[in-house]
Amino acid sequence: MHYFEATLLSIVLMLAILVDVLRFPLIKKDRGSRFFAELTIAYSIYLVITIFICLGREGIVLYPIPINRILWTLHYLSFPLLLGMWMHFNALNVIDNEKLVNLLSLIHAIPLAVLTMIVILDIPRQQFYPFNIAYEHMLPSAGTTYMIILSFFFCLAMLLPTLGHRKELPGSFLFISMLLPVAFTTSFIAFYVTHTHVMFTMVNSFMMVLYYLIGQRDSVRTDPLTGLPSYALLKRKMIRIFRFRSPYAVVLLDIENFRYFNSRYGQFIGDQMLINLADYLRTLANANEVFRISNDQFCLCFPATKEETALSITNQIEDRLNQPWILNERSVHIQVNMAIISIPQQAETLEEFKQAVNQLLLEIKTVRSKSLIVYTRESMIDHERKLNIISALRESIKFPDQVVVHYQPIYDAKTEQLVSAEALMRIKDRHLGFLQPDAFISLAEQTGLIVQLTQIVLAKVCRFIKQFPEDDTPFSHLAMNLSGEDFESKTLGKILLNIIEKEGVNPKQIGFEITESVVLQSYDTVSDVMIELSLKKITFALDDFGTGYSNLRALIDLPYDYVKFDKSVIHAAENNPSMLSLLTEMLHKMGKCVIAEGVETKEQLALIRSVGIERVQGYYFSKPLEEEIFHNLVVKARKD
């Protein structure tokens, strides 16, 4: 094959890559991908120069002597320059340490710079490297020898790091990284023997195409939205880290309530938020060390010898998150929960690491905002306990007898008469004993088991109510709690009504307590269900009022009958009663009946009465009671 055909074929291949990149832009924004683009451009320039030279050689165009020499000089220099770029590109893919790569490339750039100087100075004199028409039949000159030696040196510089890192390189990269120096060396031998660079051009083109294909295949494992590598690539990185026992710190990051963010601001802003966060995280760690491991979870890894490095990163992230993000001219906030795993202190093997990640991803969803979990081996024991609790929950769904409902009476603040009660769930497990909500509710929510548990509790509450004639109960209704996960089902309203109907209870004897955070999580579904059920005279209470955002929209728009002040509000009001009084007044003006939770002392009760709160619930009157005891209480209240 001649120069011309080889060059034309290469141009076609480069155009094919270009067209493909235009159709499917490279999503990975890491240095490797950027450098590949630069390499492609450099190679395309080389091809253009080659075309000019071909035109001159074939006598199609006649260049003045200085132009001809300059063209040949550029052509000549592009061999080692391209090889040097290949070497740098290869090192970026093979060596993890960016500083080391830059240092290596700098060392290699020195002989290249020397060569460039000599050749440029040699243009008028033509001693070092005679450029002329007889190029193909030239005698070995000092210039040719220098260039060939330098090229071999570059090939060697490619081979050595590849061999050194062969164990950690994924198969496809190992293959191409080995092929690269071998193919180029072959092309130089061919050049030495035949004096034509056809082989060099072909090797270059095919390597470009091969690298491009591998890069494209890898981008499947890259998140298209943020351009970050995905969980699959994190796993690959971890295999390397554990094989080399390098000290690493891993930070897991979970956006709190991202579903709510999305539904509040819309998908577009949600996506922008993720992109902005990803870009920010990239600035903290090398792009290759930030991963998007699920919809709203990210992971940062970085070499670390001290735990402080991880802490300083999490502090930086927290500082950034205290500032708003400007998206589409709107100022928005997000909160994240983070967890740190130190390798090898807290995870010595890949297995341990995977367990730690699984545990933390579960845990991170349950912690309240802005807390940092530092993973320790001891917390593994805690994790086992959680797994045991989850299996206890599964078991109790199969055997609903293990679901126990306690009732905490609610009293009229003035008359101190029983007016209602809140049903509170407990789990009675053969192995774990009696479980309180603190231990299992959030796990039940994360696993989705809460949905069935809610139905079991509702059925039990209905059966309790059925023990008394409808028009002869001291309580207006009994209330139970609903979780955010319950609202995942669009048919929640129907499901609940079916149970109430099947148990033969008048719906007005049932009430549901829903916290504000649940409302904010899925406003539309909550609103639909509330409207559907309140048509049947089921009542609703806004639970834990004063702990969340205290968003008035929910209070104004949704058919809440009751508002329950959280116990923290009552306790805080002891020092600042005017706030409680104002809030109560506002709620009364909105037509809500107010319940004070967590009333523990005589003083608190007095305070509640003084601000006009109608109902109280708390240890001062009664703890949550076993069903039988509450039953007796109801019977006694009926007689009074």
For binding to ligand C2E (CB under 6 A), which residues are involved?
A: 408, 424-425, 436-438, 441, 450, 454, 457, 480-483, 513, 543-544, 567, 598-600, 617-619, 624
Please report how close the Cβ of residue 91 comes to ligand C2E at its closest, in angstroms.
56
Of Ca ion, ligand C2E, none, which one sits near residue 598, judging by CB under 5 to 8 A according to partner kind? ligand C2E
272 CA to centre of own chain = 14
For 384-437, the DSSP string reads HHHHHHHHHHHHHHHSGGGEEEEEEEEEETTT--EEEEEEEEEEEETTTEEEPH
Residue 78 vs 525, nearer CB to ligand C2E:
525
Q: From CA 532, how far away is CA 509, in angstroms rounded?
A: 16
Q: Tell me the three state secondary structure of residue 596.
A: strand
Of ligand C2E, Ca ion, none, which one sits near residue 507, judging by CB under 5 to 8 A according to partner kind? none
Residue 234 vs 441, nearer CB to ligand C2E:
441
Please report how close the Cβ of residue 300 comes to ligand C2E at its closest, in angstroms.
33
Helix H or strand E encompassing 48: helix 31-57
Residue 313 vs 587, nearer CB to ligand C2E:
587
Residue 450 vs 634, nearer CB to ligand C2E:
450
Please report how close the Cβ of residue 617 comes to Ca ion at its closest, in angstroms.
9
Q: From CA 226, how far away is CA 425, in angstroms rounded?
A: 42
Of ligand C2E, Ca ion, none, which one sits near residue 203, judging by CB under 5 to 8 A according to partner kind? none
Of Ca ion, ligand C2E, none, which one sits near residue 132, judging by CB under 5 to 8 A according to partner kind? none
| Residue 405 CB neighbours (<10 A) | 22
Of Ca ion, ligand C2E, none, which one sits near residue 455, judging by CB under 5 to 8 A according to partner kind? none
Interacting residues with Ca ion (CB under 5 A): 481, 513, 543-544
Phi-psi region of 188 (alpha: psi -120 to 50; beta: other; left: phi over 0): alpha
Of ligand C2E, Ca ion, none, which one sits near residue 82, judging by CB under 5 to 8 A according to partner kind? none
Give the distance between the most distant pair of CA atoms in the chain.
121
Of ligand C2E, Ca ion, none, which one sits near residue 483, judging by CB under 5 to 8 A according to partner kind? ligand C2E
Please report how close the Cβ of residue 514 comes to ligand C2E at its closest, in angstroms.
9
Of Ca ion, ligand C2E, none, which one sits near residue 600, judging by CB under 5 to 8 A according to partner kind? ligand C2E
Please report how close the Cβ of residue 280 comes to ligand C2E at its closest, in angstroms.
34
Please report how close the Cβ of residue 545 comes to Ca ion at its closest, in angstroms.
8
Of Ca ion, ligand C2E, none, which one sits near residue 434, judging by CB under 5 to 8 A according to partner kind? none
Candidates 372, 365, 370; CA nearest to 257 is: 365
Residue 297 vs 521, nearer CB to ligand C2E:
521
Q: What are phi and psi of 545, to 5 degrees?
A: -60, 135
Asked if 424 and 411 touch (Cβ cutoff 8 Å), the reply is: no
Please report how close the Cβ of residue 491 comes to ligand C2E at its closest, in angstroms.
18
Tokens of 124: 């008028």
- Any idea which residue has 């995977």 for tokens? 354
- Locate the DSSP E strands across 473-592: 477-481, 510-515, 539-545, 562-565
Q: From CA 327, how far away is CA 322, in angstroms rounded?
A: 15
Candidates 584, 616, 587; CA nearest to 603 is: 616
Residue 49 vs 541, nearer CB to Ca ion:
541
Please report how close the Cβ of residue 375 comes to ligand C2E at its closest, in angstroms.
26
Please report how close the Cβ of residue 480 comes to ligand C2E at its closest, in angstroms.
6
With CB atoms as reference, the residue minimizing the distance to Ca ion is 513
Asked if 563 and 556 touch (Cβ cutoff 8 Å), the reply is: no
For 284-330, the DSSP string reads HS-GGGEEEEETTEEEEEEE-SSHHHHHHHHHHHHHHHHS-EEETTE
| Residue 61 CB neighbours (<10 A) | 13
Residue 374 vs 625, nearer CB to ligand C2E:
625
Of Ca ion, ligand C2E, none, which one sits near residue 615, judging by CB under 5 to 8 A according to partner kind? none
Q: Which residues pair with 510 in a beta bridge?
A: 478
Q: From CA 544, how far away is CA 532, in angstroms rounded?
A: 23
Residue 372 vs 450, nearer CB to ligand C2E:
450
Residue 119 vs 563, nearer CB to Ca ion:
563
Residue 218 vs 513, nearer CB to Ca ion:
513
Please report how close the Cβ of residue 625 comes to ligand C2E at its closest, in angstroms.
10
* Angle, CA of 36, 38 and 39, to the nearest 5°: 65
